[in-house]
Structure 1
Amino acid sequence: MSKNRLNRLLLPLFILALLLLLSLSSACTEREKDSLLQFLSGLSQDGGLGASWQNGTDCCTWEGITCNGKRRISEVSLPSRGLEGHISPSLGGLHGMLRLNLSGNTLTGGLPVELMSSRSIVSLDVSFNHLSGGLQELPSSTPHQPLQVLNISSNFFTGVFPSATWEKTRNLVAVNASNNSFSGWIPSSFCIRSPDMAMLDLSYNQFSGYINPGLGKCSALRVLTAGHNNITGTLPDELFNATSLEYLSLSNNQLEGTLDAANIIKLRNLAFLDLAANGFISGKVPDSIG
């Protein structure tokens, strides 16, 4: 057999072996697939995902799943899919997942601590569901988390904000916990532990007590809204040290005292201020603030 003929016979075999190797290396791992299938099995209504999420297929091709160049799952995006049931803790086992969006469904039960303690998730959105219960404390041994954006708004969460949790999430930039039933004092540890915190929405809850002066340490905070709660007392002078504030809403609370224009004007970037439906007795808001 000539050398050229041998090469012609071996070349297709080489190409076939290469394609087989590439197909094996391009599929998601069995561990990641199992994590997704456990989540699917916990749903009473899967929004049609079962037709796409089939065992024996590459989960990187499944609906709502995005993988990175290393074929690791980097995003699970399933907003407004009609999903019903519980959020499986197994999703916390997706160690390469950066973003999880389950908003706008009818998911019930609690928020698994495995998601809050994830060492990869930077954006977590479970807003507009029927989730309930309290946010669990992270164990003291939990390392610092990369979480930057947390949206748990429009659910049925209750209880106080666990301070130990915020001490572990030092990369937070935005937290939206509005339209729930959280209670207790407004935590100030957000900004102490997360120096880049820019947006904090705690409106439409049951927070009470005084505004913690520690919020004045929020040097990067641009939006603070905590209207429609049961907050009492006066506006602490320290609050006006948060000079990056552009939007401040504390309406419909039980705040009192005198509005000091000299303090308010320190918020040189402030474009919107809403203190309506409180017990302030006097004071004038500078005309430059809408």
Structure 2
Amino acid sequence: MQLGTRVLHLVLIFSLLSEFSESVAPICSEQDRASLLSFKAGILQDTTDTLSTWTSRDCCDGGWEGVQCNPSTGRVNMLQIQRPERDDETYMKGTLSPSLGNLHFLEVMVISGTKHITGPIPSSFSNLTRLTQLVLEDNSLGGCIPPSLGRLSLLQTLSLSGNHLKGQIPPTLGGLRNLIQLNLARNSLTGPIPLSFKTLVNLQYLDVSYNLLSSTIPDFVGEFKNLTYLDLSSNLLTGKIPISLFGLVNLLDLSLGYNKLAGNIPDQVGNLKSLTSLQLSGNLLTGHIPLSISRLQNLWYLNVSRNCLSDPLPAIPIKGIPALLSIDLSYNNLSLGSVPDWIRSKQLKDVHLAGCKLKGDLPHFTRPDSLSSIDLSDNYLVDGISNFFTNMSSLQKVKLSNNQLRFDISKIKLPSELSSIDLHANLLVGQIPSSFSQITGLKHASFRANRLCGEIPQTRPFNIFPAVAYAHNLCLCGKPLQPCK
């Protein structure tokens, strides 16, 4: 009887111990802890104070900021270190330890916005074969992209943007067939977009902007049927825009600006039914803006400035491009004469028509209250300033420089929300009125090269603008120029 009781007690004890062990999360792996501490040792400064929390014995106890573990295995599966948004004061200084490549159960690695983590991306990261996200953006990493990253076959997001990476994009990255998002922007990468990328058919987001990439835009990019965002801007790409791009019916944002692309804007641009933003500025594009653009029902941003596009503008119906908010046609070979009705009549936020050979009076906009930014500089406008700013209650930036505007500056009333005004190189007369000082948010102003006289308002911000803002007038005086007599 006593033996039976003892056996029963032992069974109960083992049962309780078993339940207890199942209810307590396992302590993190010693190997994982050592790898994390090795990374910490390589960070010489940490003003984010993230790593100061990495002190306890158990890196899975929730006390290690940025570290998460699988509760059933006790292995680190997420490392997420990000500078808080809009916080420019915090940073980390140091290097990425190769020991992070020993976190074999890691699924997500995000180390971004630290600003001062330098050195190469360790090739040991190719051992992290469970990774689905690798985000190392906005640091100061250098060297080449390790070709071995092409072994991370489960990767869905790869972002290395905002570093100092150089060399060519490794063709091995074409093996990452599960990639949905690829961001290599803002580096110093050279060479062509690899031919091996044609296998990345699941891509939804591709950004290689602000590099030194050369050669032509590959035709195979038009096979990325899931693509919603494509940014190849600010590179050295040449040739024509491939017709294949205009079969990307899911594309929302297309940015090809500031390359060396030539030829016409294809009529097929009108096939991009989902497109909301089209940026083609700063190229060598010729011919006309195609009428098919008027079919883009969702387009709100259109920028084809700084090309060699010529007249005539397409006869876009008043109701064409109904969602348009921002348009920039500046610095082409356009001789508009006047602002087209289809632009004047829309409820636009930004209108930039610099260098478009506009003549006569300043335009009258049907919905001036919606305007935030206007650039009509480098034209032949002569009059119409007296009522131009009427009802422009949202206007923040205006450029009317390098025209032939003749008016007494003391007789105009500027919108109270202005942050920037450029009136240089006109024929303005009179004295800058003290009422301008009521525009408290004004950060930039230029009245240079006019015919202004009198004392500059001696209140902020007018008395702290540089002297060049007032230079080459008839008889302006007062700080920052010479004292008035």
TM-score norm. by structure 1 comes to 0.86
Taking the aligned partners of 1:84 and 1:24, their CA distance within structure 2 comes to: 37
Residue aligned with 1:209, SS:
coil
Q: CA deviation at 1:255?
A: 0.6
Q: What TM-score comes out, normalization by structure 2 length?
A: 0.53
Identity %: 31
- Find 1:266's aligned residue among 265, 271, 274: 271
Specify the alignment match of 1:145 in structure 2.
153
Which of 91, 96, 104 is the equivalent residue of 1:95?
104
After TM superposition, the structure 1 = structure 2 runs for residues 204-223 of structure 1, keeping only pairs within 5 Å, are 204-223=210-229
Check the 8 A contact 1:215/1:242 in 2, yes or no: no
Note if 1:283 corresponds to 2:288. yes
| 2:208 is equivalent to residue 198 of structure 1 | no
Contact 2:180–2:204 (CA<8 Å) still a contact in 1?
A: yes
Matched, 1:161 2:177: no
Which structure has more helix as a fraction of its residues?
Answer: 1
SS at match of 1:265: helix
Deviations along 1:175-197, one digit per CA (max 9) or x if unpaired, are 1111111111123533x222210
- How far does residue 113 in structure 1 lie from its aligned partner after superposition? 2.3
Whole-Å separation in 2 of the counterparts to 1:154 and 1:87: 16
Cα separation, partners in 2 of 1:87 and 1:249, compared to 1, 3 Å: same
SS in structure 2 at match of 1:35: helix
Aligned partner of residue 32 in structure 1, secondary structure: helix
Query: What letter corresponds to residue 274 of structure 1 in structure 2?
Result: Q
- Post-superposition Cα deviations, 1:118-164, rounded to whole Å, max 9, x if no partner, equal 2111111111100011112129xx75611111111111111110001
CA-based RMSD: 2.9
1: distance between equivalents of 2:249 and 2:127? 32
In 1, Cα distance between equivalents of 2:25 and 2:120: 36
Name 1:248's counterpart in structure 2: 254
Answer yes or no: is the 8 Å Cα contact 1:177–1:202 preserved in 2.
yes
Secondary structure, counterpart of 2:148 in structure 1: coil
Q: CA separation in 2, counterparts of 1:37 and 1:118?
A: 18
**TM-fit CA distance, 1:265:** 2.0
1:161–1:187: 8 Å Cα contact kept in structure 2?
Answer: yes
Aligned length: 284
Q: Which residue of 2 aligns with 1:174?
A: 181
Aligned to 1:108: 118
Would the alpha carbon gap of residues 40 and 116 (structure 1) be closer, same or farther in structure 2, given more than 3 Å must change? Answer: same
Contact 2:133–2:155 (CA under 8 A) maintained in structure 1: yes
Higher relative contact order (CA 8 A, sep 6+): 1
Secondary structure at the aligned position of 1:156 is classed as coil
How many Å apart are 1:203 and its aligned residue? 0.9
Contact 2:51 2:65 survives alignment (8 Å): no
Name structure 2 gaps, 5 residues minimum.
84-89, 300-485
Q: CA shift at 1:252, angstroms?
A: 0.9
- What secondary structure is seen at the aligned counterpart in 2 of 1:28? coil
Alpha-carbon shift at residue 20 of structure 1 (Å): 7.6
Instruction: In structure 1, list runs of 5 or more residues that go unmatched.
Output: none
* Equivalent residue number for residue 74 of structure 1: 77
